Structure 1
Amino acid sequence: MASSNFIDYVKINCRSGAGGAGSVHFRREKHTPKGGPDGGDGGRGGHIILRGSSQMWTLLHLKYRKHIKAEAGVAGEGGRRSGAQGTDVILEVPLGTIARNPDTGNVLAEITEDGQDIILFPGGRGGLGNDHFKTPTQQAPDYAQPGEPGCEEWVVLELKLLADVGLVGFPNAGKSTLLSVVSAARPEIADYAFTTLVPNLGVVAYRDYKSFVMADIPGIIEGASQGKGLGLRFLRHIERNSILLFLIPANSEDIRHEYNTLLNELREYNPELMDKTRLLAISKIDLVDQEALSRLKENLPKNVPVAFISSVNQQGLDELKDIIWQSLTIANEPE
């Protein structure tokens, strides 16, 4: 899919509907010429609502909708007839979408479940009609409440992909190839850096009809946390992954150095990422002989589960899935 179709950040202006005015009205029927007040209430203004959809994966549909406006409520009428509510505007968004105040950065809403509804900006309340204000000493109130105004605010919608496993590695580490082999995802694959320009998601089948979601994040380079390369734009997606799977090719000059460099970029971006479970896959083992493979095993990072794989030859993939599943089971255990 073209990279222009993946949008993970939009800024839009939202205006919820104003409430309808209450009615000032008196009964004036043939046999009751001096009937009391019977003004109805105004209708509520329309809400701006975020709704989670598991069928969506991008904010592209909102990219060109810079102004979102809900309907105002209808004014009340005589005969205690309430005005209609303004129609709500429902913005369907992918799971993992966060709404923020663009000035303060405060989180206003977070969508994590399919069908989840959150009122982002409520519509104004409708005003009460004059029927509500009659008293024993004031039998004919000639006033009613106006409707409350709606909210008008700018909001930033930011997508952080929800995945069980996030692939972390330098460009050309083999992340896209691995995802294409273990799932039905078909990311672009080529022999040049930054082939992956957008995150890709794939569902990986496991034993006994189990499965987990893997995300291929665009390649990180040294300095990504300061904005170099493509990494800064997509590092936010790693924040939502339960497990980080570091992918480093077997023919790298110094595997431990590459691992530490990647780790440092994540730490610089968000220190909380250090609390996530980390796994290491040494990819492209088909490119080195057994002697070289034995040597590199002596210089691996400590205290990190390691799998040796070849996506091209499909070597070690079942073992990798076993390690991932075991780690997911532990990570998702209630504390």
Structure 2
Amino acid sequence: GRKEIKAEDGKNGRGQFLDGRDGEDLIIKIPTGTRITNLGTGYVQEMLHPGQRILAAGGGKGGRGNFKFRSPTNTSPKEFEEGLPGDVVPYQLELRLIADIGLVGMPNAGKSSLLNELTRAHSRVANYAFTTLEPHLGAYFGVILADIPGLIEGASEGRGLGVKFLKHIERTRTLFHLISAESEDPVADYRVIRKELEKYNPELMEKEEHVFLSKCDAVEPKVLKTKLLALEKAGIRAEPISIIDPETMETVKKTINTIKKELTSA
């Protein structure tokens, strides 16, 4: 909803040679990752660093005191100047999460379960679509992971949970793309997500991506092999993983550790 935030006006000028003081600053604290749009001009600024400050609107200037109105014929003027109001500027604030790794995939791909296993973030999990209704963040030894709610075909046009969550992917450095081994067509699932990312912002296609075939414990080894082969034939290299298999989870952790080294050396 709309909210009006008002700083102090400049004070009136006074006698005894005193100008009115300027209005006090009003400092508003907002989360890192907030996108700030001036609705009057369309100018966009982003708060990307802790402690970063921007001037949202000029404050009220104090009025001139009586001394400023002195003249040879009026050595003790009674006039003074009223303080001025500050600028009035409409803004829209939109939070976009900043994370090192964004978990993407169709609903039910196992993103929340993977985040919970790695970070103990305790996202709400159940075996039906759209369980995650908002992005969740977790940290794995200093690496921030964001569970982006399940996307579907048409998400870039607002279908399902839609474009509301695609914006958060823009700020991630790397994508972990999860495809469920239980999917009837893992290649199609992969392409749907990639297509939606591209339609929303083609620059997302340039992000580093790691593909994982999740829930591999839920299907027979023969079925798993068939699905991995289908992905490979489509040019998609996917690592099979299961959160209850320590060996495959080690693969995920090694990938994250490699990303962490790249982050610390950057």
TM over 0.5: yes
Residue from 49, 52, 55 that aligns with 1:119: 55
More helix by share: 2
Question: How many angstroms does 1:114 deviate by?
Answer: 2.5
Q: 1:138 to 1:304 in 2, by over 3 A?
A: farther
Helix, strand or coil at the partner of 1:246: strand
Query: Which digits, 9 at most, give the CA deviation of each residue in 1:255-309, with x for residues without a partner?
Result: 2221111000011111111121111111101112332222222222667663321
Helix, strand or coil at the partner of 1:257: helix
Where does residue 257 of structure 1 map in the other structure? 188
Q: Are the aligned partners of 1:173 and 1:247 in contact in 2 as well (CA < 8 Å)? A: yes
Residue from 293, 299, 306 that aligns with 2:238: 306
Residue from 225, 232, 236 that aligns with 1:294: 225
Root-mean-square deviation over aligned CA pairs: 2.7
Residue from 13, 16, 22 that aligns with 1:76: 13
Query: Which digits, 9 at most, give the CA deviation of each residue in 1:31-65, with x for residues without a partner?
Result: xxxxxxxxxxxxxxxxxxxxxxxxxxxxxxxxxxx
Q: How does 1:121-160 map to 2 (within 5 A)?
A: 121-132=57-68, 140=75, 142=77, 146-160=82-96
Where does residue 325 of structure 1 map in the other structure? 257
Helix, strand or coil at the partner of 2:28: strand
Letter in 1 for 2:225: S
**Number of positions where the alignment pairs a residue of Structure 1 with one of Structure 2:** 264
Q: Distance in 1 between matches of 2:236 and 2:263?
A: 15
Where does residue 118 of structure 2 map in the other structure? 182
Where does residue 271 of structure 1 map in the other structure? 202
Letter in 2 for 1:193: A
Q: Are the aligned partners of 1:243 and 1:328 in contact in 2 as well (CA < 8 Å)? A: no
Where does residue 88 of structure 1 map in the other structure? 25
More strand by share: 1
Where does residue 195 of structure 1 map in the other structure? 131
TM-score with structure 2 length normalisation? 0.87
Q: Distance in 1 between matches of 2:236 and 2:62?
A: 60
Letter in 1 for 2:60: G
Q: Distance in 2 between matches of 1:306 and 1:105?
A: 42
Q: Are the aligned partners of 1:219 and 1:231 in contact in 2 as well (CA < 8 Å)? A: no
Q: How does 1:161-172 map to 2 (within 5 A)?
A: 161-172=97-108
Question: Which segments of 5 or more consecutive residues in structure 2 lack a partner in the other structure?
Answer: none
Q: Distance in 1 between matches of 2:73 and 2:239?
A: 83
Q: Are the aligned partners of 1:218 and 1:231 in contact in 2 as well (CA < 8 Å)? A: no
Q: 1:91 to 1:312 in 2, by over 3 A?
A: farther
Q: Distance in 1 between matches of 2:243 and 2:63?
A: 65
Q: 1:297 to 1:84 in 2, by over 3 A?
A: same
Helix, strand or coil at the partner of 1:93: coil
Q: Are the aligned partners of 2:60 and 2:83 in contact in 1 as well (CA < 8 Å)? A: yes
Residue from 17, 38, 55 that aligns with 1:101: 38
Letter in 2 for 1:87: E
TM-score with structure 1 length normalisation? 0.70
Q: Distance in 2 between matches of 1:185 and 1:297?
A: 29
Question: How many angstroms does 1:238 deviate by?
Answer: 0.8
Q: Distance in 1 between matches of 2:200 and 2:264?
A: 24
Question: How many angstroms does 1:231 deviate by?
Answer: 2.4
Question: How many angstroms does 1:166 deviate by?
Answer: 0.7
Question: Which segments of 5 or more consecutive residues in structure 1 lack a partner in the other structure?
Answer: 1-10, 13-65, 206-210
Letter in 2 for 1:248: I
Does 1:247 find its partner at 2:178?
yes
**Relative to structure 2, which stretch is displaced further, 94-103 or 138-147?**
138-147
